[in-house]
Structure 1
Amino acid sequence: MHPSSTRRRTLPIALTATLVGGVVVLGPSAASAGGEPEDHGDHPRSVIFVNGDGMAAAHREAARLDQEGFDGQLAMDSLPVAGLQTTDARDPEDTVTDSAASASAWATGVKTYNGAISVDVDGNPLPVIGGEAQAAGLATGLVTTAQVTDASPAAFFSNSVDRSAQDDIARQYLEVTKPQVVLGGGEDWWLPAGDEGTYPPRTGDPEDPEVSRSTQGDLVARAQQLGYEYVSTPEEFAAAEGDQLLGLFANEEMFQQRPEGQGDSFDPVVPLADMTTRALEILSQDEDGFFLLVEEEAVDEMSHNNNGGRMLESMRSLDAAVEVARAFVAEHPDTLLVVTGDHECGGLTIEDVDPEDESGPGGTLPQDAAIAGTTESGEDGPFLVAGTGGSYDFALDWTTTGHTGAPTPVTAEGPGSEELTGYYPNTRLHEVVRDVLLG
């Protein structure tokens, strides 16, 4: 398949929100129904939104040193516009956000509580940008190395008072918001108990045995009935030809998040860059434009485990996907590209390798040792600076295994990106994306 022409048409659809079964359903208003679409010329209609889950400034700088060295630049950092966003939630107990609340702020423009999927602080469902784009006639899709129904993608395409209801989130994808492309992990949430599909359960946390658990029936079969081509292996993915594509390439995440040397792995069977390429091939065929969410989840999960080596691997995966997006934007300049992180994870900083430097438990440097009274943190490394022939190295110092309230960088290019300079709340991204897609 080849991307279509760069021509874009706008469809001036006024949207009304209707509450059906606890879900906001968007449709054309009576004023716009049945009318001829008005041609708005070259108004931009496409957005590629890239989330490095858990990624903040130190993650990006560590990745730059690891991949490009002192004089190099990551693809995500070469975008011409840069800003900083604050990420605080509106949780009744916590100041620091989780992925659900932060992604909901992007998807709806409304701050909410941790664990919420695009509902307000009272649990009322809100219109989501993925659903609004689909209702306006644009193509939509998501690719992620997490479960496709995990908090960040879920916020753009569903509503739930609890992020853990991933099987119902999958049902909403099929019945309500209907993204054309859904690629990532999470097979367990689409298949009922007893049907383990392509990927058998992995050993791990006994409280999360990673077995099939859909209470909504066989959602893979339902997707196929609705016209989706379903693929679950690299070979099937390479051979896929449909313009509605559901691909589930792991039973849960497309990696194994663990502390270093304890069963950790990062080797997605289909790389994020390849999923991004295929999604753009399909979605760009819609002359009205598209919205695509791209997410690398392992940045967050490996940071939760203070696993610097795997975090850097996931950053390579993320930047490779950004390279794909940048190449697309170069040929389709009416597309807005945004690269950011939903929150910081790990309280990460970059230090020189110094045997005299204090560090807490959990690190891998030879001098690391438990210090009474310290938090669960420590130094990790050493890691070599690329292009220096081994003459320079650095350590990663983790201060927590949780999220922090540090602001996260936003880099962007394309129409509307000039609105993303400065320092602002994460809801600003919703305003800019929505204006490009629907303004």
Structure 2
Amino acid sequence: MVDPTGPDRPVDGDDDVPHRGGSTMRTGLRTWISTGGTVALTLGLAASAAVDVPGGGQSTERGRGGPPTARNVVLVVGDGLGVAARDAIRLATVGQDGRLAMDALRHAGWTRTDSADPVEAVTDSAASATAFATGVRTYNGAVSVDVEGTPVTTLLEHAQRARKATGLVTTAQVTDATPAAFGAHVADRADQSEIARQYVEVTRPDVILGGGEDWWYPEGDEGAHPDDPDDPRPEVSRSTAGDLVARAEAVGYDHVTTAEELAATRSGRILGLFANEEMFEQAPEGQGDEYEPTVPLATMTAKALDVLSRDRQGFFLLVEEEGVDEMAHANNAALAIRAGQALDETVDLVRDFADRHPGTLVVVVGDHETGGLAVENVDVEDESGDTGSTEPSVTQSVEDGPFTVAGSDLQFTVDWTTGSHTGGATPLTAQGPGADRLARTQHSTDVFDVLRDALGGRR
């Protein structure tokens, strides 16, 4: 079991059970030991690594008859990125004959995202991220614990046991559901200060970059980003575990708060907090919406790749663009597309890195669909929203656009069916060692299996 207050580090147990259904799951992480102890781990790593060939190919080398292993694994999550959102981004940015960087990856498939929640049929980000991070289906709101609340080993922890460097990059709070599922274990995703504490005292990723400074400082300590009590959503410091930035610095993190500080640091362990909460303002059009991160996702990702690639054993990196999801919740197609463009620019950067560093597995996937987004022709007779309503939840759902199809005279609109998540499968593209195993229909737990194997993890 886990001492939720102590600086413990996880050790794999031997009690795996089937995890595809909701009733029996991998219980995984049963034994924890003090960080002061000494643990001998026999990793059984493959004797040879699969080599990725520039241009998207890969060798067929396999260690000891098993699946190919990768030196580096980069998982890029477009939060809320369904197939229609991906096509809206394509049409608006590169046109019908263009190709997104995420669509240029060699292998393509899709993922089912059902959680094991006993009440809700559609997943939230926490349960979905837990499935990708641990191979376990769990209830909505859970962060890398199973339905009984037992912590389960994450890909980040598998990577650390393979002596690889690790990193988390997001435009959300660094303690939000998706990054949290790779670096922490809590029963409730809202416990963000506990997630931050576990980053600092338990899992210690080498690089942590994003927003969410409010969860690191206690009430009354504004930190580097002034609090805004007039914001419709509270933006005030609220750490329940004291000054977690000071504790991070005490264990070796270089704390940076601006793009200039991020560029200047030469540390191998970085905590970058660049906003109070998310690195944007999610709202319907004209109601305070903004997507202008002070440090773009591509900039944060480039720094993480630079730092993590210094490790001789390779690395695992989680990159998340949260803006697609949050803007879709607000039925704000213009900024959902802009966030998607930022995501694709980041994927292009990661692809370039992979081409220059053979043996890098790159996977791009959505954790769920948001908004029930549909791409439609411009048609004034086909407006599904109630333009006469004054109810915000109704008025924000009217069609957005028209948007111009890049490189043409054509236009399209974006229509919405909800401000919530939907149960549609999400597209996945990948290249590198083991990527061919993802060219299928699968559950997000199956994606975990491939990434764990690529990291040289225990089968």
* Alignment TM-score, normalising by the size of structure 2: 0.85
Q: 1:261 to 1:39 in 2, by over 3 A?
A: closer
Q: Is the 8 A contact 2:214 2:237 kept in 1?
A: yes
Match of 1:407 in 2: 425
Question: Are 2:48 and 1:41 equivalent residues in the alignment?
Answer: yes
Q: Is the 8 A contact 1:117 1:162 kept in 2?
A: yes
CA distance in structure 2 between the partners assigned to 1:181 and 1:272 by the alignment: 14
Q: Is the 8 A contact 1:170 1:190 kept in 2?
A: yes
Match of 2:78 in 1: 52
Match of 2:122 in 1: 96
Q: 1:298-337, aligned counterparts within 5 Å? A: 298-337=323-362
Question: Are 2:298 and 1:277 equivalent residues in the alignment?
Answer: no
Of residues 414, 417, 438 in structure 2, which corresponds to 1:420? 438
Of residues 347, 372, 391 in structure 2, which corresponds to 1:347? 372
Match of 2:243 in 1: 218
Three-state SS of the structure 2 residue aligned to 1:395 is strand
* Number of aligned positions between the proteins: 411
Letter paired with 1:386: A
Q: Is the 8 A contact 1:48 1:335 kept in 2?
A: yes
Three-state SS of the structure 1 residue aligned to 2:400 is strand
Deviates more, 1:126-135 or 1:225-234: 126-135
CA distance in structure 2 between the partners assigned to 1:176 and 1:239 by the alignment: 27
CA distance in structure 1 between the partners assigned to 2:138 and 2:176 by the alignment: 17
Match of 1:112 in 2: 138
Match of 1:384 in 2: 404
Deviation at 1:28, TM superposition (A): 8.2
Question: Are 2:172 and 1:146 equivalent residues in the alignment?
Answer: yes
Deviation at 1:319, TM superposition (A): 0.5
Question: Are 2:278 and 1:263 equivalent residues in the alignment?
Answer: no
Q: 1:223-242, aligned counterparts within 5 Å? A: 223-242=248-267
Deviation at 1:122, TM superposition (A): 1.2
Letter paired with 1:40: A
Q: 1:215 to 1:424 in 2, by over 3 A?
A: same
Deviation at 1:202, TM superposition (A): 3.2
| 1:151-187 superposed Cα distances (whole Å, 9 cap, x missing partner) | 0000011100000000000111111111000000000
CA distance in structure 2 between the partners assigned to 1:169 and 1:67 by the alignment: 36
Question: Are 2:207 and 1:181 equivalent residues in the alignment?
Answer: yes
Letter paired with 2:291: F
Letter paired with 2:168: L
CA distance in structure 2 between the partners assigned to 1:248 and 1:280 by the alignment: 17
CA distance in structure 1 between the partners assigned to 2:81 and 2:320 by the alignment: 11
CA distance in structure 1 between the partners assigned to 2:290 and 2:194 by the alignment: 29
Deviation at 1:125, TM superposition (A): 1.1
Of residues 25, 37, 42 in structure 2, which corresponds to 1:32? 42
Match of 1:393 in 2: 411
Deviation at 1:46, TM superposition (A): 1.4
| Root mean square deviation, CA, Å | 2.3
| 1:2-58 superposed Cα distances (whole Å, 9 cap, x missing partner) | xxxxxxxxxxxx94445459xx99x9865739xxx9782334231000000000101
Match of 1:437 in 2: 455
Letter paired with 1:422: R
| 5+ long unaligned stretches in structure 1 | 1-13, 362-367
| 1:344-367 superposed Cα distances (whole Å, 9 cap, x missing partner) | 000000001111113214xxxxxx
Match of 2:183 in 1: 157
Three-state SS of the structure 2 residue aligned to 1:378 is coil
Q: 1:281 to 1:158 in 2, by over 3 A?
A: same
Q: Is the 8 A contact 2:113 2:444 kept in 1?
A: yes
| 5+ long unaligned stretches in structure 2 | 1-10, 14-28, 50-68
Match of 1:364 in 2: none
Q: Is the 8 A contact 1:140 1:181 kept in 2?
A: yes
Letter paired with 2:118: P
CA distance in structure 2 between the partners assigned to 1:429 and 1:346 by the alignment: 24
CA distance in structure 1 between the partners assigned to 2:79 and 2:212 by the alignment: 17
Match of 2:159 in 1: 133
Q: 1:351 to 1:28 in 2, by over 3 A?
A: farther
Deviates more, 1:188-197 or 1:123-132: 123-132
| 1:110-138 superposed Cα distances (whole Å, 9 cap, x missing partner) | 00000000111111111111122113211
Three-state SS of the structure 2 residue aligned to 1:347 is coil
Question: Are 2:298 and 1:288 equivalent residues in the alignment?
Answer: no
Match of 2:148 in 1: 122
Letter paired with 2:113: T
Q: Is the 8 A contact 1:375 1:399 kept in 2?
A: no
CA distance in structure 2 between the partners assigned to 1:57 and 1:205 by the alignment: 33
| 1:288-313 superposed Cα distances (whole Å, 9 cap, x missing partner) | 11100000001000000000111111
Q: Percent identity?
A: 55
Q: Is the 8 A contact 1:190 1:218 kept in 2?
A: yes
| 1:197-256 superposed Cα distances (whole Å, 9 cap, x missing partner) | 1112235665x4111111111111111111111100122112111110110000000000
CA distance in structure 2 between the partners assigned to 1:310 and 1:325 by the alignment: 23
Deviates more, 1:309-318 or 1:38-47: 38-47
CA distance in structure 2 between the partners assigned to 1:184 and 1:341 by the alignment: 19
Q: Is the 8 A contact 1:45 1:438 kept in 2?
A: no
Q: Is the 8 A contact 2:166 2:315 kept in 1?
A: yes
Q: 1:362-373, aligned counterparts within 5 Å? A: 368-370=387-389
Three-state SS of the structure 1 residue aligned to 2:219 is coil
Three-state SS of the structure 1 residue aligned to 2:324 is helix
